[in-house]
Every structure is written in C-alpha cells, then in structure tokens.
Amino acid sequence: MGGDFTEVMCEMASRPSRIRLQLLSGSLSDYWRATRIWWNNIEEDCPDLRERPVYFVSSNKHSLVNLISGFALKHKDDLLTHIEKSKNGDLAREWRKIREDRVPSNRENFFYYVFKEFL
C-alpha cells in the first residue's frame, strides 16, 4: 500500500462491511482447503479480482502484523531455523514442496503461516 496506507484504511473504515467469521482447525491442509473453497466462490462472483492484489486477513494474531510490517518476510531465515529446530515434519515437507515448485503455494504465504508458530 506504500504511502497510501492511511488513506486506504480510512476509506475501508468509512464504508459498511459484511464480515463473516469461520473457525478453522489448526492444520495447514485444513487451512488450505478452506481458503481454496472460499477463494473459488469469490473468483466466480468477482472475476476481476484475479488481476488485483487481495490479502486475506484471518483472525490469527500474525495476519495484521504481516500485512502492515512484512515482519515474516524480513525474518525468513529465522523462521526456517525455527522449522528445523521444532522438527515440524509437516512444515518442513511443505517448504520442500514449495522450493521445488511441486505445490501451488507461494513462499510469502508459507512464511506468514509459519510466523504464527514462531510467536
């Protein structure tokens, strides 16, 4: 958002919003499945969004910190070290698949997800 951040946030706050909350279980595969279903519905109704940046803000404590500060991306090496030390096999396997381009996930979203484990 750059220098327009305050203006964009004020614009968002000035309009009515329809907000829906959904509790997800903690696994990466459940999160991926739920967000994929959610996003497919949005793409069907709003195909123009495919060409625009969209950030999904979840209820997790890490989501707004990542959006505003970029903390997770600035600390990738620390997060990767955390994965190695925690011996979290699921995260290590997912990172390997992302590095090898075997899954459609992107690196940024992975680090945002890992950041919540790191807190």
**pLDDT by residue, tens only, the chain of 119 residues:** 456 788 888 888 898 888 777 666 677 788 788 888 888 988 899 888 888 877 666 666 656 666 677 788 888 999 999 888 887 888 889 999 999 999 888 888 888 888 877 76
Examine the domain organization and report whether 36 and 86 are in the same domain. Answer: no
Report the run of H or E that residue 38 belongs to, with start and end. helix 28-45
Q: Against a cut of 0.85, is the pTM above it? A: no
Q: Do 45 and 94 have their domain in common?
A: no
Does residue 86 lie in a domain region? yes
Q: Could you say which of 10, 37, 54 is where a domain stops?
A: 54
Domain co-membership, 70 together with 113 = yes
pLDDT by residue (tens digit) across 64-96?
Answer: 666 677 788 888 999 999 888 887 888 889 999
Domain residues for 104?
A: 60-119
pLDDT attached to residue 70: 78
Neighbours of 83 (CB within 10 A): 19
Q: Are residues 99 and 44 in the same domain?
A: no
Instruction: Answer with the one of 54, 71, 96 that is the final residue of a domain.
Output: 54
Does 68 reside within a domain?
yes
pLDDT for 78: 92
Q: How many CA atoms lie within 13 A of 5 on its CB side?
A: 6
Domains: count for the chain: 2
Looking at the structure, do residues 67 and 111 belong to the same domain, yes or no?
A: yes
Residue 114 belongs to a domain: yes
